[in-house]
Amino acid sequence: MAAFGLYTHIQANRRRSIALLLGLFFLVYVMVFAGALVFEALAHDDWPLDRMLASAFGQLILALPFATAGAALWIVIAYFFHQTLIDTVTGGHGVTRLEEPRLYNLLENLCISRGMPMPKLKIMESDALNAFASGLNQRQYSITVTTGLVKHLDDAEIEAVLAHELTHIRNGDVRMLVIAVVIAGVIGFFAELVFRLLFQGGFRWFGSGSSGGSSRSRGKGGGAFIAILIALALVALAWFLSIVIRFALSRRREFLADAGAVELTKNPDAMIGALRKIEGRGELDGVTSAVMEMCVDNPREGFADLFATHPSIDNRVKALIDFAGGHDPGPLALPDPNDSEADDGAQPESEPPKEPPKPFLPDAPPVTIGEPGPPGPQPGPWGPRNQA
């Protein structure tokens, strides 16, 4: 069904996200089948290929409940501990209204305007300009911003970034992405298990096999080598598709979050200005790729851009101009802290500081206490003025 308008696009994105998550669960089963196929190749090297495939499929059917339960258990563990892990990696810590009144008030006003429960507000000590939302339910939702973002963005731009992250929470993107990262972690775990089983057992097993065993395998039409190649191909395909699915969940949601931020703030130029300042300055040192996928921007350049989880800043700005009527100032340079420190000194003598004009007051010579006041009334063109 075609999507028209912001909210129908959000609903369509949710349906696609659910379908992609189901695809991730399917990839878990593909990994289980690949592991069973490797086991059959190592245990029954003299079997023909079709028998190995049939036996591996039978083991997959038996393992389905256990694989599903294992993936569900992984998700349950992440449900309770993922935020602790994220805070440990990023060093984020919660702040109150007294500690950060500027941020707290901006976020609170946005939540009040939409009748949303206020997520936890956290600060991450970093010179990078970025922010991200995390959590799986209302009690866990939090928004983390870096100190660099707070330092270099004005109030309107910070409000736009907070609205962007609130939109991720409203649209369910945060929950979807956390689950996708967890399931992708399951796939990565199974991939590592298969490769360990293969390289620590399979290749050594093939190398140490006797000549009699090798001739027996060839004589009985053994398909162990082909089975292992198939298993490797399945592992690589599942791993690659899991990455593609994570990208699909990330790229589209960023456009919708930008649009949601404009809807909340009614200020497309603030969102564009924030993106231009964040552009190229959002890389968080020492954090995992899973955390970067949740950020406002996940910068990638060159060949790595093929595996980017976010659209480019130029494309996002173009969308805001085309659909929200914003204005692009182009790439923005941040002020140099060293220059600002130099400006703290005295003004140059050649250009003394000017006093701001005083509105609604006529220009008149200053009156100094203790000195004679201004002269009395002067005669007009038709003689002296009458005194009252």
Reading the block at residue 44, the tokens are: 């029954």
Residues 6+ apart with CB under 8 A from 250: 177, 293, 298, 309, 310
345: phi > 0 → left, psi -120 to 50 → alpha, else beta; which?
beta
Largest CA-CA distance found in the chain, in angstroms, rounded: 137
Hey, what are 132's tokens?
């991200």
**Residues contacting residue 67 through CB under 8 Å, at least 6 positions apart:** 28, 29, 32
Neighbouring C-alpha atoms within 13 Å toward the C-beta of 164? 28
- Alpha helices in the chain, H assignment, sequence order: 6-43, 49-90, 101-114, 147-152, 155-171, 173-197, 203-208, 211-219, 224-265, 268-278, 289-292, 313-324, 337-342
Task: Provide the token pair at 155.
Answer: 């109030």
For the four alpha carbons of 343, 347, 349 and 355, in that order, the dihedral sign comes to positive
Paired with 131 in beta bridges are 145
Rounded CA separation 385/189 (Å): 101
What span, in angstroms and rounded, lies between the C-alpha atoms of 226 and 223?
Answer: 5
CA–CA separation, 293 vs 133, rounded Å?
Answer: 10
165 a catalytic residue? yes
The one catalytic residue in 100, 157, 159, 165 is: 165
Classify 309 in phi/psi space as left (phi over 0), alpha (psi -120 to 50) or beta. Answer: alpha
CB atoms inside a 10 Å sphere around CB 206: 17
Q: Which residues have a catalytic role annotated?
A: 165
